Amino acid sequence: MVSFQANDLRTVHRGTKFSCRFTVQELQQRWYALLYDPSVSRVAVAAMRNLHPELIANVQSRTLYSKAEEQLLGTIKSTSQPGLEVFQNLLEHNPHILYPARTAKALLTHWQLMKQYHLLPDQTVQSLPRGEHVLNFSDAEELINDTELTETQDEILEQELAVADRHAKKEIRHLENELGRWQVLVDSVTGISPPDFDNQTLAVLRGRLVRYLMRSREITVGRSTHDHSVDVDLSLEGPAWKVSRRQGTIRLRNNGDFFLSSEGKRAIYVDGRPILAGNKYRLNNNSVVEIAGLRFIFLVNQDLISVIRREAAKMNLQP
């Protein structure tokens, strides 16, 4: 997506923040694999289809700006004070130039950055001060020639970094392969994930690496220790030292509604809303649950819940 927008992998390498350090060559190899390797392409497409809409929107909002987009923003003079309506007008009249995920607020922010760094066509760049007229550290820093810094490379250091990078990636792959051994209602999420629901699963709490199956009407969420166990051990998903041993409880009522009770020291975020200790909040299908930096998607088995609701209505049970 970003590569099609910028049409330059080097620009993508410089302007995009990745999950770990990649060289331009590694980025190019991954790009070719996505295009021409059927197995890699198939797994990548399946993984992208499973992404949450909120995550997709977040990625699209950080797409690099093309030259055509910046030229269009350059038509707004630096001396003006444009409001959001000006950039909304640009969106409506230039859909063939602007990326579909752009918003008026995003365009305004990028225009302000261009103005700040004197990148608008009607701006003139002031000449650098002489050495004897440098007033502060920032001015002295501006005098440094960045090209000279990027040209000098320490080959020994680069080789050591490459070796360390390979070791880190090997360790990551080793840990990912070990996830398949955890069979306590936890399944490893692969490119082509298994079906989320069966006739015994009420709901699924899906993370980036693992998914937790809810097969009883009440489950506890937290961090397991040698003397304390919970139904959903968040340490299997990632760093959980900030998670309380008893962080919360998910309950299913007779009417088919799920509620999350917060019981830990830190707040639980549901769809961006903080739930403090002692409070509870209703969980809907596709709700985003965030606990101490670990993010999950709550998926409801709609077919099974519909059956439970019908049975509750027949027996006239209280919620």
Give φ, ψ of 206 to 5 degrees.
Answer: -100, 130
What is the reported pLDDT for 184?
A: 40
In tens digits, what is the pLDDT along the chain, a chain of 319 residues? 444 555 677 777 777 777 778 888 888 888 888 888 888 888 888 888 888 888 888 877 778 888 888 899 999 998 888 989 999 999 999 988 888 888 899 899 989 988 888 888 888 766 655 555 555 666 666 666 665 555 566 788 888 888 999 888 888 877 766 654 454 444 444 443 455 677 788 999 998 888 899 988 999 999 988 888 898 999 888 888 889 999 999 999 988 899 999 999 999 999 999 999 999 999 999 999 999 889 999 999 988 888 888 887 877 666 5
For the segment 192-249, what is each residue's pLDDT rounded down to a tens digit? 345 567 778 899 999 888 889 998 899 999 998 888 889 899 988 888 888 999 999 9
DSSP 226-275: TTB--SEEGGGTS--TTS-TEEEEEEE-TTS-EEEEE-SSSPEEETTEEE
Query: Which of 146, 111, 123 lies closest to 14, judged by CA?
Result: 146
Angle between helix 84-93 and 104-116 (nearest 10): 110
Rounded Cα–Cα distance for residues 160 and 166 (Å): 10
Rounded Cα–Cα distance for residues 240 and 106 (Å): 34
Residue linked to tokens 């230039």: 94
Among positive and negative, which fits the CA dihedral 39, 40, 45, 47?
A: positive
The structural domains of the chain, with segments of one domain joined by +, span 2-124, 186-315
Rounded Cα–Cα distance for residues 12 and 291 (Å): 31
For the segment 3-30, what is each residue's pLDDT rounded down to a tens digit? 455 567 777 777 777 777 888 888 888 8
Rounded Cα–Cα distance for residues 34 and 14 (Å): 20
CA atoms within 13 A on the CB side of 65: 18
Q: What is the CATH number of domain 186-315?
A: 2.60.200.20
